[in-house]
Amino acid sequence: MEDEEEKVKKAALQIIGQFQDLPRLVVFDLDYTLWPFYCECYYEDDTPYLYPHAVGILEALKEKGIEMAIASRSPTSQIAKAFLTQLGINSMFVAQEIFSSWTNKTEHFQRIHRRTGLPFSSMLFFDDEDRNIEATSKFGVTSILVGNGVNLGALRQGLSEFSHKSDSSSRSMKN
């Protein structure tokens, strides 16, 4: 298992290395983005697990000095937080906004913005729900819809779209 995580981390580092403009913060949803289940359907004594590429991607972002955060509308924040701790990744995130909400993550992102002081335009977000992608995109967040959890393909797509957006905005500033 360790070998697979290391391979994914190396591949993720290669992907990250292909882009000059990198996000300052990468935000992840939890359910069906980092792990393949709804945590409210689990119990704290269950053994949580991540999608196969998730750990390698988190490790690569950490190694590159890119901060990470969580934005989750989970109604069971205590279980979600317990899972993050059990998985040994709790300390990787500079902000964890995990609470039930009807606002399509807008409140989550406002809190993350206040906590980190980072502009929305410097954030990259991964989520499995269209409505959250649409809502956060309106803030200027580069938002990527994942179909089968976060993986190397989603990371490449996210960094590519982020970089393209950065190029466009820097070109428009020069004109």
- What pLDDT does 170 receive? 55
Low-confidence winner among 5-9, 22-26, 40-44, 163-167 (lowest mean pLDDT): 40-44
- Top mean pLDDT of 38-47, 71-80, 125-134 is at 125-134
Catalytic residue among 3, 21, 31, 127: 31
Task: Report, as an integer, the average pLDDT of 2-23.
Answer: 94
Q: Which residue has the higher pLDDT, 172 or 120?
A: 120
CATH of domain 2-174: 3.40.50.1000
Q: How far is CA 86 from CA 3, 50, 80, 95, 149, in A?
A: 21, 11, 10, 18, 19
Q: Is 3 a catalytic residue?
A: no
Catalytic residue among 29, 45, 46, 128: 29
Q: Is 130 a catalytic residue?
A: no
**Has this prediction a pTM greater than 0.85?**
yes
**Domain-by-domain residue ranges, the chain?**
2-174
| Residue 175 scores a pLDDT above 50 | no
Quickly list DSSP for 23-84.
-SEEEE-SBTTTBSS-GGGS-TTS-----TTHHHHHHHHHHTT-EEEEEE--S-HHHHHHHH
